[in-house]
Amino acid sequence: MPHLMIAALLGAGLYAGYKFVASTAQRMADEAKRAQDELMRQASGAVEKNLGNLEYDPATGVYRPADRT
């Protein structure tokens, strides 16, 4: 009977350890993906600009920044 209790405790400990390692690995993979996306965004040279409100220009068919005057 004591052997079964030891085996059950060992199994529970191994399962808890597996879940901990799996969650840590997933968290590290998510962080690596975010870092890679950030590096790719910076490497692309894209600069985000806030143009404010845009107005549709029917003559040209494009949106342009609204006049702030």
pLDDT of 42: 83
Report the Cα 64 to chain-centroid distance in Å: 32
Is the pLDDT confidence value at 3 over 90?
A: yes
**Mean confidence (pLDDT) of the chain:** 90
pLDDT tens digits along 56-66:
989 999 998 88
Single-letter amino acid, residue 41: R
pLDDT tens digits along 27-52:
999 999 999 998 988 887 767 778 78
pLDDT of 69: 59
pTM of the model: 0.54
The angle at the Cα of 49, spanning 52 to 47, to the nearest 5 degrees, equals 170
pLDDT of 9: 96
